[in-house]
Amino acid sequence: GNVASCLRLWCLVKGPGAPGACLHQPPAQEDADSSQSLVFADLTPAELAQVVRYLQGHLGLPLVDAAWAKPSDNCIASVALQVPAKAEVLRFLDGAGARPPREALAVLYFGAQAEPNVTEYVVGPLPTPVYHRDVTVRRYGGKVPYHRRPTLAVEYKQLAGFLKSQVFPAAPSFMRQVMEYDGGSLAALTAAPRGFRSGDRITWFALFQNVSGFFVHPVGLEVLVDHSSLDISRWAVSRVFYNGQYYRDMVQLESSYVQGRISVQKVRRAPRDGDFSSMKPRAPSAAPFPLQYEPQGPRYSVRNNHVLYQAWSFAFGMSVSTGLRLFDVRHKGERVAYEISIQEAMSVYGSNCPAGMSTRYMDGSFGIGRYSSPLVRGVDCPYLATYLDVHFLAQSQVPQVTKGAICIFEQNVGSPLRRHYSNLQALYYGGLVNSALVLRSIATVGNYDYIWDFVFYQNGAIEGKVQATGYASSSFFYGDGLRYGNRIWEHTLGTIHTHFINYKVDLDVGGRSGSSFTACHCSGEPQCSRGLPPVSGSQAAVLSQRIPPAPAPSHGVWLRIPVELHECRAAPCCCRGWAMLVPCEPSRALLPLSGHGSGCSLGRCEGSAGGVRCY
């Protein structure tokens, strides 16, 4: 079923200004802002191609195009913008430093090395790169084992070929008589993750009728494939599931079927359009839908990757992994957020079938930005919206483009921003039209279409919103299936599931803040001290000063917390704030922490016998 969840970021940084204020900035200011915003701009096709050529010529290793690479090959999985460090960018944006060098982040799969691994390189400076540096260990604390690599599209093709050429022929009677398989009538849908122990690379594949909207046409057959070997010829079936029963492999399934020891549930073959799952309208529209129009043209401007609207300005981009993101968000010229970006969309399923019960999709591993789809004018966005292309390089050595993958438009919210009709004392009416600017992309990741919106309101509020549509994920209905969802067709169980949507929000209201999602690891229990000594080192230490506990509950104690920001490159820079610490047992503490410092806000603190971790 459809879900709609929204994250409302109420940044009421200013009161509403005078009517019509900040509709446009002077041309010189607009040019300066749009030029500065290029520090956040996605890589161009020319830059992407340059990075590929550089890697091909400077790594000293053969690189196979990821579009047809075998697991045992080396290939470029993706190339994208390496966003510069926040401190460098802010110095540049605020006129105190030079423009940071433009760099790319390249993710490579090294399957042809003695120890296969995933390696990340920063390549620069663009447009003519002359260096690359391995950042894998710094980012992940060590080498990334090869089995952890996200699955390439070509590996799915290889798995489909394995099912067709090796798996299905092992049960010819069952596949022909029960599945009515003709070589192309079944579609496989992957589960995830690929195992539950470190080192696993085994995947359940559920089989569906290969028709429009196949996600809701399960046939009851699921196959667990071990594809951990880099040699495709050594892939094997680990388990088979059909109509509530597990089998060792397809040979055992075939034997049980021939001997009449299987409870068969034949599924009526669906037409090519999917019948009930077809997206074709069931009836013509009675009349044209209403349209919105702009009497004097758009009241916003888009230049490069920079948008101006009323009192708002911001830069935007599209991460190939995580999707739409905003940078340097300003209201009336004042920066209120350094970054607001999508981070992950996760869905956790339940079922009485193995593929469904084991599925925990993390769509960032598939590529939320990569699977952003072209937007249909008048349906996905208004006709008069501004449509922008997205360029990316993923699972190929050739840059690709998704036409019209981002739209920008202003819409009438449909209710007044404020109004009053006076019928006491004096008779008068006052009201303001409420409109908002929308930045939108839609990512189709498997069965779900996620509609991602960032909405900018006149009253200084920003809204991050996601709506999920598309198709439900389903399992074959049998036995106690109603404990795990709802029956939506004769043999189709719409499975219970939960969506988790994650955003990164780095607010800079009233000055620069630390990274919203940087963790600081603190050794030892908090210690009380009279002074506030300077903090040094790459990780922050928590030093506390006991204050008379009058403002706090009797079970709490007020602490002054200095924290070193991770973005600091030279001298220590600390933000100091107040927090209330609620102690628990010394051996195992869970310590709620709320910051009230100048530009510093900590979310929570966890403590144990081994130390304290601050988030």
The predicted-structure confidence for 430-443, as pLDDT tens digits, reads as follows 999 999 999 999 99
Q: Give yes or no for residue 527 having a pLDDT over 50.
A: no
Residue 566 CB coordination number (10 Å): 17
**What pLDDT is stored for residue 31 in this prediction?**
63
Of the residues 33, 73, 363, 380, only one is catalytic, namely 363
Catalytic site residue from 181, 257, 448, 450: 448
* Interatomic CA distance for residues 434 and 475, integer angstroms: 44
Task: Please compute the mean of the pLDDT values over residues 202-227 and round it to a whole number.
Answer: 97
pLDDT average, residue stretch 250-265 = 95
Report whether pLDDT(551) > 50: no
What value does the mean pLDDT take over residues 287-297?
Answer: 89
On whether the CB atoms of residues 381 and 409 are closer than 8 A, the answer is yes
The pLDDT value given to residue 509: 85
Say whether pLDDT at 344 is over 80: yes
Q: Is 328 a catalytic residue?
A: no
Identify whether the C-beta of residue 257 lies closer than 8 Å to the C-beta of residue 196: no
Strand duo 386-394 + 236-242: pairing: unpaired
Rounded average pLDDT over 473-485: 95
How far, in Å, CA of 186 to CA of 437, rounded? 44
Q: Which two tokens stand for residue 595?
A: 């910051």
The conformation of residue 43, written as its DSSP 8-state character, comes to P
In the predicted structure, residue 146 carries a pLDDT above the cut 80: yes
Which residue did the predictor score with more confidence, 554 or 186? 186
In this predicted structure, the answer to whether residue 556 has a pLDDT above a threshold of 50 is: no
Residue 386 has pLDDT above 90, yes or no: yes
**Measured distance between the N- and C-terminal CA atoms of the chain, rounded to whole angstroms:** 35
Angle at 267 between CA 266 and CA 268, to 5 degrees: 120
**Residue 499 buriedness (CB in 10 A; 0-12 / 13-18 / 19+):** middle
Check pLDDT > 50 for residue 565: no
> Which pLDDT belongs to residue 30?
57
Residue 286 has pLDDT above 50, yes or no: yes
Amino acid at 475: S
Confidence of residue 514 (pLDDT cuts 50, 70, 90): low
Asked if the model's pLDDT at residue 161 lies above 60, the reply is yes
Mean pLDDT of the chain: 82
Residue 92 near residue 71, CB atoms below 8 Å: no
Report which DSSP code applies to 15: -
Section 398-405 average pLDDT: 97
Single out the residue of 250, 202, 471, 468 nearest to residue 358, CA to CA. Answer: 202
How confident is the model over 258-273, as a mean pLDDT?
93
Whether residue 281 is predicted with pLDDT greater than 90 in this model: the reply is: no
Residue 22: pLDDT over 60: no
Least confident of 56-65, 290-299, 322-331: 290-299
Q: Do 495 and 349 form a contact (C-beta atoms < 8 A)?
A: yes
**Confidence (pTM):** 0.78
E strand map for 446-594: 448-457, 462-470, 474-476, 485-489, 492-495, 497-507, 520-522, 527-528, 543-544, 557-564, 574-581, 588-592
Give residue 284's pLDDT band: very low, low, confident or very high (50, 70, 90).
confident
Give Cα separations from 80 to 108, 110, 123, 567 (angstroms): 12, 18, 10, 22
Q: How confident is the model at residue 67 (pLDDT cuts 50, 70, 90)?
A: very high
Mean pLDDT of all residues in 402-417: 96
Asked if residue 355 has pLDDT above 60, the reply is yes
Higher pLDDT, 578 or 337: 337
Phi, psi of 384 (to 5 degrees): -90, 5
Angle formed at CA 33 by CA 27 and CA 36, multiple of 5 degrees:
140
What pLDDT, on the 0 to 100 scale, is given for residue 336? Answer: 95
Q: Using CA atoms, how far apart are residues 495 and 358, in angstroms rounded to an integer?
A: 12
pLDDT for res 285? 79
Task: Identify the weakest region by mean pLDDT among 200-209, 512-521, 580-589.
Answer: 580-589
Query: What sign does the CA torsion over 213, 215, 218, 224 have?
Result: positive
Q: Which residue has the higher pLDDT, 516 or 470?
A: 470
Q: Is 156 in the active site? A: no
Q: What is the pLDDT of residue 292?
A: 87
Q: Phi and psi dihedrals of 606, rounded to 5?
A: -115, 135
Task: Please state which of the ranges 154-163, 397-406, 577-586 shows the lowest mean pLDDT.
Answer: 577-586
3-class DSSP state of 33: helix
H/E run at residue 177:
helix 172-177
Question: What DSSP state is assigned to residue 395?
Answer: S
Provide φ and ψ at 395, rounded to 5°: 55, 35
Q: Using alpha carbons, select from 363, 379, 361, 360 the residue that is nearest to residue 319.
A: 363
- Residue partners of 296: CB distance under 8 A and separation at least 6: none
Q: Is the pLDDT of residue 615 over 90?
A: no
